A and B are shown apart, each in its own frame.
Chain A
Amino acid sequence: AQSVTQLDSQVPVFEEAPVELRCNYSSSVSVYLFWYVQYPNQGLQLLLKYLSGSTLVKGINGFEAEFNKSQTSFHLRKPSVHISDTAEYFCAVSDQVRGSYIPTFGRGTSLIVHP
């Protein structure tokens, strides 16, 4: 069975500062990894995904994430955050155990950007 751990439930940061949201997963097989963002009162939106190839994945809004197989991590980073980045961020992993790539989501990290 696969699982996802988002180590921080809340990350406060000042505007224009860098940020890293941590995500670790466990799975016995090859995985696909995702980061989603949920703005207040909206549905989830895909930020980026790793399926194969380069371990550094670039997404929308200046976010990027690096797949580290040895550390089973997929941390999300942004070099300079904006107030508008305030949202809930979810890491997700899917593999072929289920045969249908249904993702397992972490509990989410609330990013709070202060002016």
Chain B
Amino acid sequence: GAGVSQSPSNKVTEKGKDVELRCDPISGHTALYWYRQSLGQGLEFLIYFQGNSAPDKSGLPSDRFSAERTGGSVSTLTIQRTQQEDSAVYLCASSLGERETQYFGPGTRLLVL
């Protein structure tokens, strides 16, 4: 079956531009997570969606970052006015519910010049 997919796989942008990263979770998974993975660092939690509940945004590093999940399925992470320090791999994961195994996508590698 299809796993978690993310697009684009790579994104190069100029400082100050906005970017949108997309995540397609596994069908039927109610929980969706976004993480950021910087070189030499672990995974940094960004945001969590669970069903129709209000998302947990406690990991978003600044108000330039936002995310939405439409129809309980596809999610988009938006970074406005990108900065060079935003360069990282952005990972999405989904699970059947909280405490269930998370399945990760391959990530989007973002480079801000």
Name A residues whose Cβ lies closer than 8 Å to a Cβ of B.
4, 6, 9, 32, 36, 41-46, 49, 51, 90, 92, 94, 98, 100-108
Complex: A18 Cα to B77 Cα, angstroms = 41
Taking beta carbons and an 8 Å cutoff, which residues of B are in contact with A? 4, 33, 35, 40-45, 48, 50, 56, 58-59, 91, 93, 98-99, 101-102, 104-107
Q: Which residues of B contact A104 (CB under 8 A)?
A: 45
Taking A51-B99, A90-B43 as contacts, is the C-beta distance between A43 and B106 under 8 angstroms? yes
- Asked if A43 contacts B41 (CB within 8 A), the reply is no
| Set A42, A51, A100: member contacting B56, Cβ < 8 A | A100
Whole-angstrom CA separation of A104 from B59 in the bound complex: 11
User: Is B42 a contact partner of A100 (Cβ separation < 8 A)?
Assistant: no
Q: Is the CB of B98 within 8 A of A43?
A: no
B107 to chain A, nearest CB (A): 6
